[in-house]
Chain A
């Protein structure tokens, strides 16, 4: 008997849920208890002591890949930066804005957070970086699993991009 009762209660409950779902509401949306991932990054303190990857400062980390050591001239090479700016427009803007987070992180201030070597390695072989570099891996998770595309740029082109980032 108890079982039968339980089943019928369940059926009634299901029926109710079913009926409830059918009513058309003209709301602009709906709300449930949840946090948007983008807000979480900027507003909510991480559960661990760890800073979100996008805000971490990892200037000592050169990343993984062919770029081992880069020395930057104190002066920005304007010609190189212009080339880099053009390359940025065609190869990067689909996912990166200079001044705000888009699909990937914003580029302003990138060199205050990452080493030049790390930046270049990330551009040259994002897949390897995501596999072997902790920060790159965490960024992938933080940015919703949107893997950075390898745009098949040469070292020279990548260096130009780096110079462009210095101007931002």
Chain B
């Protein structure tokens, strides 16, 4: 018996030892691999990332700023949505930014960021984004990382094939996804076909100031203009839009707008149309849209209503607009760095269709047309197609490029990124994503000069990627190293809202010019207090204006009396700090708007309507110094009929 025990014991021991060794060996191997992926995304404490990435926030209405390769989020830039964190859209200065022809709109669905370019290369001055729901385009400064301008797009609905910029940032282009009556009018929905239109808007960008101006709209047939990209290099001057619902169905679209085996990519020679408009072409149409501009001098947004737009009938400008037949409801419409290839991702197909710009010009020259749609020539498919990528995947959506002739396409249905070669159209690698990837982004991957080190895949479905947080989850993103022949999955990180597309650039393009403070001596806000002796409280009927200043760690004044129930109190707060990263906050009990977060040198205003008699405190919400907790004050609110004199003080 003993012997048997020994044997069993020995066997067990040996097995364990063996397993142990094996396990250790296995761990070592995995460990080595894992650590190499980890090292690639590890940004040591105190060190900084290699790239900025601007991920759209989708239905959050805002834009998020990330670092790559770490996947760390640095900032959420409020654009189309109210943002209590900073008071954007709540403060008196920023409310005008959200004004539209529909009135004040506190929200939008932000889709596609695009960084400004010069000669087809990223120049890092601004990033442009589109509001999809209430059609708008915003320009965000890449010095302040703040929204500086929002322009509403009339005659548009579902502003989706936007906001893409031409290679010298001459225009930011915004196309409508939904066809609508242009101008809007009361008419039966089922008379869509032939009556609804698709407006493609060309918004000029001032080279110095970035100021936007809706220069003209091309009024196209009533298809759905889904995505678009500018030509570059040889195709500079053209812009390409994918379309679906060329059936012009108005109901049960998921069936009825998928009937044609081919839809179109619309090729628009905007330089020709620009010339036409410059020479007095086009028709002025009465309309109504808001143009909102924010000034970093007055720290204030102003909204102006405009009431006219120049529309262009594409059939009136010869040789300016053509349709390229493209299979199965193309979604992504991407142009390679050379400007030669236009890739249509038929989202209901397995294949990608690649059109050649050179062949397109030749076909136009030779008039190789297959017919026309509403007077716009349809080019013959075989004469414009350069190749087909037989991917083996399902549901191609979007393509980005590296600098070495490779293209990377996302496949939504088969959840993968597929790498393929331009010109040979061969698939060279594929990697799964987690799960159901939408857009992907390579820094500069939509320019003449991509920085092909990483690709970020932005997914629509998260499921089991992170610890569960109930039914609602943030979306997941994966970053892959694409510097080698095969892609390598490095890291997985959650994103905020629903990123549709992103734009990235090398850190050095922006980091050194990022603004640190607003200069107090440049502050032109009408209610700014440039030195504490100017702090005061003024009454004008029921309106009370408090001119207040802050510095570590007190408000001037911090005691205010003589406010009455029924007053409308404007707190205009100027932050007198002139040092980097010393914001002060302001909040007061019963504030119906939001707090304010005021950067050094800035002035912001919050309205407070006291409803109850009493002595009510206010305080700084941003932990500003060791004496932050002491940064507080009181407002005495007296009955409406009281005759307490207005008074204010600090330290008396």
A residues within 8 Å of B by Cβ? 89-91, 93-95, 102-103, 144-147, 149-153
Q: Is the CB of A103 within 8 A of B578?
A: no
B551 adjacent to A152 (CB under 8 Å) = no
How far does the Cβ of B104 sit from chain A's closest Cβ, in whole Å? Answer: 35
Q: Which 6 A-B pairs have the closest CB atoms?
A: A94-B551, A150-B579, A152-B578, A145-B626, A151-B578, A90-B531
Contact status A146-B531, CB under 8 Å = no
A91 pairs with B554, CB closer than 8 A: no
Chain B residue nearest in CB terms to A88: B531
With A94-B551, A94-B556, A95-B551 given, is the CB distance from A149 to B533 under 8 Å?
A: no
CB closest residue in chain B, given A152: B578
Contacts of A103 in B (CB 8 A): 554
Partner among B533, B552, B579 whose Cβ is within 8 Å of the Cβ of A93: B533
Give every chain B residue within 8 A of A91 (Cβ-Cβ): 520, 576, 578
Q: Which of B's residues lie within 8 Å of A, judged by CB?
A: 517, 520-521, 530-533, 549, 551-554, 556, 576-579, 582, 625-627, 651
B584 to chain A, nearest CB (A): 11
Asked, given contacts A145-B627, A146-B627, whether A90 binds B521 with beta carbons under 8 Å apart, the answer is yes
Name B626's contact: one of A90, A102, A147, A150 (CB within 8 Å).
A147
State how many angstroms separate the Cβ of B264 from the closest Cβ of chain A.
56
Question: How far apart are the CA atoms of A103 and B650 in the complex, in Å?
Answer: 11
Q: B residues within 8 A CB of A153?
A: 578
Instruction: Report the bound CA distance from A102 to B554 in whole Å.
Output: 12
- CB nearest to A126 among chain B residues: B579
Given contacts A149-B551, A152-B517, contact A93 B531 (CB under 8 A): yes
Complex: how many Å from CA A144 to CA B626?
9
Nearest-CB distance from A153 to chain B (Å)? 8
The reply to whether B552 and A146 form a contact with Cβ atoms under 8 Å apart is: yes
Q: Tell me the smallest distance from the CB of A59 to a CB of chain B, in Å.
A: 28
CB neighbours (8 Å) of B651 from chain A are: 102
Known A-B contacts A102-B651, A146-B552, A150-B579; A89 and B625 likewise in contact (beta carbons under 8 Å): no
Instruction: Give min CB distance, B588 to chain A, whole Å.
Output: 20
In the complex where A93-B533, A152-B517 touch, is A147 in contact with B625 (Cβ < 8 A)? yes
20 contacting pairs across A/B (C-beta < 8 A): A90-B530, A90-B531, A90-B576, A91-B520, A94-B531, A94-B549, A94-B556, A94-B576, A95-B551, A103-B554, A146-B553, A146-B625, A147-B552, A147-B626, A149-B577, A149-B578, A149-B579, A149-B582, A150-B579, A153-B578
Which A residues touch B520, using CB under 8 A? 90-91
Partner of B627, one of A90, A102, A144: A144
The winner among B517, B520, B531, B582 for most chain A CB atoms within 10 A is: B531
- Complexed CA–CA distance, A91 and B582 (Å): 15
Q: Output the least CB separation between B429 and chain A (Å).
A: 51
Whose C-beta in chain A lies nearest to the C-beta of B577? A149
Closest to B520 in A: A90
How near does chain B come to A127, taking the closest CB pair, in angstroms? Answer: 9
Chain A residues near B626 (CB, 8 Å)?
Answer: 145-147
By a CB distance below 8 angstroms, the chain A residues around B554 are 94, 103
B517 CB, min distance to chain A CBs, angstroms: 6
Give the one of B517, B533, B576, B582 with max A CB within 10 A. B576
Contacts of B577 on A, CB cut-off 8 Å? Answer: 149, 151
Q: Which chain B residue lies CB-closest to A145?
A: B626
A151-B579 in contact given A94-B549, A146-B627 (Cβ < 8 Å): yes
Give chain A's interface secondary structure class.
loop
Of A89, A103, A149, chain B has the most CB atoms within 10 Å of the CB of A149
| Nearest-Cβ distance from residue B532 to partner chain A, whole angstroms | 5
How distant is the Cα of A102 from the Cα of B552 in the complex, in angstroms?
A: 13
Q: How far is the CB of A145 from chain B (nearest CB, A)?
A: 4
Residues of B within 8 A of A93 (CB): 531-533
Chain B, residue nearest A146 (CB):
B627
**B residues near A90, Cβ cutoff 8 Å:** 520-521, 530-531, 576
Known interface pairs A93-B533, A149-B582; 11 further A-B residue pairs with C-beta atoms within 8 A, sorted by A's residue number? A91-B578, A93-B531, A94-B576, A95-B551, A146-B552, A146-B627, A147-B552, A149-B551, A149-B576, A150-B578, A151-B577
CA A145 – CA B627 in complex, angstroms? 7
Inter-chain CA distance A89–B578, complex, in Å, is 14
Contacting residues, chain B, for A95 (C-beta < 8 A) = 551-552
The docked-state distance in angstroms from the alpha carbon of A144 to that of B630 is: 11
Residue among B553, B579, B625, B627 making CB contact with A152, cutoff 8 Å: B579
Q: How far is the CB of B625 from chain A (nearest CB, A)?
A: 6
B552 contacts which chain A residues (CB < 8 A)? 95, 146-147, 149
Q: Are A89 and B533 in contact (CB under 8 A)?
A: yes
**Is there contact, CB below 8 Å, between A89 and B627?**
no
**Which residue on chain B has the smallest CB distance to residue A86?**
B531
Within 8 Å CB of A94, what residues of B?
531-532, 549, 551, 554, 556, 576
Determine the chain A residues whose CB is within 8 A of the CB of B579 once the complex forms.
149-152
| Residues from chain A with Cβ under 8 Å of B521 in the complex | 90
* Cβ–Cβ < 8 Å partners of A151 in chain B: 577-579
- Docked complex Cα distance between A146 and B631 (Å): 11
> Which of B517, B551, B627 has the largest count of A CB atoms less than 10 A from its CB?
B551
Minimum CB distance partner of A92 in chain B: B531
How close is B366's CB to chain A, nearest CB, in angstroms?
65
C-alpha spacing A90/B552, complex, angstroms:
15
Residue of B nearest to A148 (CB): B552
Q: Nearest chain A CB to B83's CB is how many angstroms away?
A: 27
A131 to B216, CA, bound (A): 60
User: Which chain A positions have C-beta within 8 A of B533?
Assistant: 89, 93
Min CB distance A89 to B, Å, is 4
User: Whole-angstrom distance from the CB of B622 to the nearest CB of chain A?
Assistant: 14
**Would you call A89 and B531 a contact (CB within 8 A)?**
yes
| CB of B460 to closest CB in A, whole Å | 45
Q: CA of A89 to CA of B576 in the docked complex: distance in angstroms?
A: 11
Closest partner residue, chain B, to A150 (CB atom):
B579
Task: Kindly list chain A residues whose C-beta atoms are within 8 Å of the C-beta of B530.
Answer: 90
In the complex, how many angstroms separate the beta carbon of B148 from the nearest chain A beta carbon? 23
Residues of A within 8 A of B517 (CB): 152
Bound complex: CA A153 to CA B579 (Å): 10
The interface residues of chain B lying within 8 Å CB-to-CB of A147 are 552, 625-626
Complex contacts, B556 vs chain A, CB 8 Å: 94
Q: Distance (Å) between the CB of B294 and the closest chain A CB?
A: 23
